[in-house]
Amino acid sequence: GESVGLHLPTLSVQEGDNSIINCAYSNSASDYFIWYKQESGKGPQFIIDIRSNMDKRQGQRVTVLLNKTVKHLSLQIAATQPGDSAVYFCAENENFNKFYFGSGTKLNVKP
Amino acid sequence: DAGITQSPRHKVTETGTPVTLRCHQTENHRYMYWYRQDPGHGLRLIHYSYGVKDTDKGEVSDGYSVSRSKTEDFLLTLESATSSQTSVYFCAISTGGEAFFGQGTRLTVV
């Protein structure tokens, strides 16, 4: 299968600071990427997506950056809040077919 | 949860018994997926479907089979459950873009 991984398994940030979660992928043919948030005991929830013809996309307090040259994806969360504490996954997809997920990064927000 | 229902939500079964998990959607989405989630492995694709009676294997399909006889239902069967199949199973649906996930089924094989 595809290799989608995360550099940091756990990230601790202070409430109000910005968070950056990174992800590396190996399939250069992947053309669609998604970030998911998973809270304890729940299924993953969509946060933001980006297609390969873009290098940046912004949502509400979140920004995804895509660097196809080095096959790297990042999720930036502005003014991190306690409710942002969760596990974050990146996922890649080729031709709207199968999604492959990374192993996840746990985000801890300290009050 | 985007009209996705997984059943059962929890199940304990014995080694060697068959188990079927059900995913039901009310969104009429074309694509349906079964993933398993284990510590240190994230979400791994077991099988997926791109239409009624059209299915394909994912990265960890051994020991599992699926069926999709109707658009709204995608069944995952463990023919003979093993302890290594103890996991949390997630169903997801998609129209080809973002995937929406169910709440998960926690399966324990003893």
What's the CA gap between B75 and B68, in Å, rounded? Answer: 7
Compute the average pLDDT of residues A38-65. Answer: 95
Q: What is the DSSP letter of B80?
A: S
* Residue A40 near chain B (CB below 8 Å): no
Compute the average pLDDT of residues A56-78. Answer: 96
Q: Can you give the pLDDT at residue A26?
A: 82
Q: Predicted confidence band at A8 (pLDDT cuts at 50, 70, 90)?
A: very low
| Whole-number average pLDDT of chain A | 89
What's the CA gap between A47 and A52, in Å, rounded? Answer: 17
Q: Can you give the pLDDT at residue B96?
A: 78
Least confident residue range of A58-67, A81-90, B31-40:
B31-40
Which B-chain residues 58-87 have CB contacts (< 8 A) with chain A? Answer: 58-59
Compute the average pLDDT of residues A74-79. Answer: 97
What's the CA gap between A53 and A69, in Å, rounded? Answer: 12
Compute the average pLDDT of residues A19-33. Answer: 91
Compute the average pLDDT of residues B51-79. Answer: 96
Contact A43 B33 (CB under 8 A): no
| Whole-number average pLDDT of chain B | 94
Q: Predicted confidence band at A4 (pLDDT cuts at 50, 70, 90)?
A: low
Nearest CA in chain A to B38: A103
Compute the average pLDDT of residues B57-64. Answer: 95
Q: Predicted confidence band at A66 (pLDDT cuts at 50, 70, 90)?
A: very high
**Identity at A86, one-letter amino acid code:** A
